[in-house]
Amino acid sequence: DGEAGKMTLFDESRRQRGLMVYIVQFRTLLYKQLLVSGRNWKGTVGQVVAPIIVVLMLLLYQFAANTVLLTKTVTPSSESLGGIPKCTPHPGGNCTTLVYLPYDIPWVDNIMKMVAERNGLEFGVDVVGIGDVQNITNMFDAVKALNSTMTDYLLNHQNETQN
């Protein structure tokens, strides 16, 4: 026969024997694992119960999040805050209700005029913009106590902030 000398890449009997070897090895390892888990039953219980506990904790967290996040947020009714109260001076002193910077800028002055009008205040008397050192020292007794460095800085850096 010409076929007797042929080599086959996959021999069916070898494949079946190899499969049987793997099955025997799998059964042996499974038996070994059962023996080890039986000897250390506390560890086995921990390995089985731990994922269940984690899943239950996640469900609890999800329930808590749904309870908090899915509730309707009631918006409180709006309340008027009222106007800016007019300043009442101490005896012998002067009083300014609202002071603002920057001064002599048309759109800022327009906004402050509107604020004064809506609050029943007189623009230029009760609502005053600070423009120069003379204006500051004439209006406020307290500003005279400030040092000139601070006053100069405020006047030279109007409407600026530092980070």
Which range of residues forms the domain containing residue 130? 98-156
Q: What pLDDT sits at residue 16?
A: 79
Q: Which pLDDT band holds residue 62 (cuts at 50, 70, 90)?
A: very high
pLDDT band at 58 (very low <50, low <70, confident <90, very high): very high
Residue 74, domain member (yes or no): no
Q: Check: CB of residue 163 under 8 Å from CB of residue 131.
A: no
Confidence band of 163 (pLDDT split at 50, 70, 90)? very low
Asked if residue 152 and residue 102 are part of one domain, the reply reads yes
The DSSP code sequence of 12-26 is HHHHHHHHHHHHHHH
Residue 17: φ, ψ to 5°: -65, -40
- The pLDDT of 109-133, averaged and rounded, is 86
pLDDT recorded at residue 134: 57
pLDDT category of residue 113 using cuts at 50, 70 and 90: very high
Of 87 and 111, the one with more pLDDT: 111
Query: Roughly how many angstroms between the first and final C-alpha of the chain, as a whole number?
Result: 96
Domain count, the chain: 2
Q: Which of 69, 90, 116 is the last residue of a domain?
A: 69
Tokens for 29, please give them.
């390892």
Same domain, 61 and 102: no
Contact 131, 103 (CB under 8 A): yes
Indicate the pTM of the whole model. 0.36
pLDDT band at 115 (very low <50, low <70, confident <90, very high): very high
Give 86's contacts (C-beta < 8 A, 6+ positions apart): 97, 120, 121, 126
